Amino acid sequence: METLGRAFADALGLLWGMDAALVETVVLTLQVTLVALVIALVLGIPIGAAVGLTRHLPGRWLIVPLIYTGMGLPPVTVGLFTYLVLSNQGPLGGLGWLFTPAGMIVAQTIIAFPLVVGLTMAAVQGVDPNLPVQMLSLGATRRQVATVTLLEARVGVTAAVVAAYGAIISEVGAVMLVGGNIEGETRVLTTAIVLETRKGNFALALALGIILLALAFLTNFAFHRLQVHQGVR
C-alpha cells in the first residue's frame, strides 16, 4: 500500500514538474506509436477492405488464416525478426536503423498491420452484403463501393484503430530489442517501466505506468468522441 500511494504521488510530481527526461520519453512514445499507427492504417485499411470485399479472392483459404495468425504475433518475436533484419549482418543493415526510433517504428508497424487488416476485414464483412450491389446500381465505382462500405463499417474500423494503438503503445518486447532503451534516444514509457522495475524503483515504475495509462486513456477518449460524432449525420 505504501508503494502504491507513493506511486500516485510520484506520478503527479513528475507530471507537475514536467521532468525533462519524462517529457522526452513521452514525446518519443507518442511519436513512435503514432507514426507506426498511421503507416499501419494507410496500408492496412485498404488491404483489409479489399480482402473483406473481394468474394472470390484467389488464395483466400491461405490469406485469411495468415492474417489471423498475424494478429496474434508475439511482439518479442517481431522484435527479434526486425532486429535480425536491421542488424549489421542482416539484409537491411545498411540502413543503420537498429537502435533508432525508425527501427522501432518498423517493428511496431509489423505488429499493428495484421491487427488493422484483420479487424478492418471483419468490420467490412459485417456490413450488409446487399450494400455493394445497391451502391453499384446507383452508379458507384468499385472504389466508391469500398469507401461507402468502410464508412458503414466505421464503428468496426475505429475498433481496429483503437486495438492497434493499444497494442503498440503498451508493447515492450519489440521496442526493447530493436530500440535498445537508450536514454534520450530510444527510451519509451514501457521500456522505462521495465528499467525502473529492475532498479527496484517500484514507485517510479508504477508512476510511469500511470502516465502510460493516462496517455492511452486520453487518446482513446479522443477516438471515442470522434466515433460518437460520426454516429449520425
Q: Which residues 67-86 are close enough to bind other proteins by CB under 8 A? A: none
Smaller CB distance to other proteins: residue 98 or 107? 98
Amino acid identity, residue 118?
A: G
Q: Which of 29, 109, 181, 219 binds other proteins (CB under 8 A)?
A: 181
Q: Which of 58, 59, 94, 200 binds other proteins (CB under 8 A)?
A: 200
With CB under 8 A as the rule, give the number of residues binding other proteins: 41
Q: Which of 11, 124, 169, 176 binds other proteins (CB under 8 A)?
A: 176
Q: Which residue has the cell 526510433?
A: 101
> In this structure, what DSSP letter does residue 122 have?
H
Smaller CB distance to other proteins: residue 87 or 170? 87
Q: Which stretch binds other proteins (CB under 8 A): 7-15, 30-38, 131-139, 220-228?
A: 131-139
Q: Which of 16, 59, 139, 228 binds other proteins (CB under 8 A)?
A: 139
Smaller CB distance to other proteins: residue 117 or 192? 192
CA–CA gap between residue 208 and residue 24 (Å, rounded): 13
Q: Which residues 26-65 are close enough to bind other proteins by CB under 8 A? A: none
Contact between 183 and other proteins per CB under 8 A: yes
CA–CA gap between residue 69 and residue 137 (Å, rounded): 37
Contact between 137 and other proteins per CB under 8 A: yes
Q: Which of 7, 110, 140, 174 binds other proteins (CB under 8 A)?
A: 140
Contact between 169 and other proteins per CB under 8 A: no
Q: Give the interface with other proteins as residue ranges (CB under 8 A).
A: 87-88, 98-99, 128, 130-131, 133-141, 144, 148, 151-152, 176-177, 180-185, 187, 191-192, 194-195, 197-202, 232-233
